[in-house]
Amino acid sequence: MTEDKETIEKSLFSDTSAYLDIMNRPRHVSKAHTPMTQEDRAAQFSPFAALTGYHRLLAEIGKRYQHKKYLTADELQQIKAELTKIENEKGMPRLRIEYFNAKDGFYEEYCGQLKRINQQSHRLVFKDTTEIPIQNIRKIKRDQ
């Protein structure tokens, strides 16, 4: 069946006999318009040509994230286990968190009184309204 399909496609799309009269003619060059550069011609068909600055924005974000060390599954499991322990205790402790600040692109340390662990947004929420994404946490210590 695939052989039949291939034969049909070849006969439909490989037959150029209908265009023999124009095949070897020279390309028309307009005297009224300057020729378009290859870059401009290609940009017409680029899917993101309309998004000016898109590639620059991606490069900036990439630079910020080049410093991030992604946790292994075991390290992430340890952090989640520690957070579960904290959540099951009475009262919320003061924590010292080492985390990746995506806005600055570097690791920072934050100290503060935990208000709650927001499971829906996967963030730690502190009393001073600071929120830290759980996926960006590298270390958690109790601040005595």
Q: Per-residue pLDDT for the chain (144 aa), expressed as one digit of tens each? A: 566 777 777 777 777 778 888 888 888 888 888 888 888 877 777 665 566 777 788 888 887 778 888 888 999 899 999 999 988 888 889 999 999 998 888 899 999 999 999 989 999 999 999 999 999 999 999 887
Which tens digit of pLDDT belongs to each residue from 45-59? 766 556 677 778 888
Give the dihedral of Cα atoms 12, 15, 21, 25; nearest 10 deg.
Answer: 100
CA-based end-to-end distance of the chain = 74
| CA pair distance 97, 29, nearest whole angstrom | 66
Tokens at residue 133, please? Answer: 């994404």
Q: What is the pLDDT of residues 2-11, one digit of tens each?
A: 667 777 777 7
Contacts for 121 with CB less than 8 Å, ≥ 6 apart = 131
C-alpha 115/C-alpha 128 separation (Å) is: 9
- Report pLDDT for 110: 95
- Catalogue the E-assigned strands of 1-144: 94-101, 106-118, 123-126, 131-133, 137-142
**Is the CB of residue 131 less than 8 Å from the CB of residue 125?**
yes
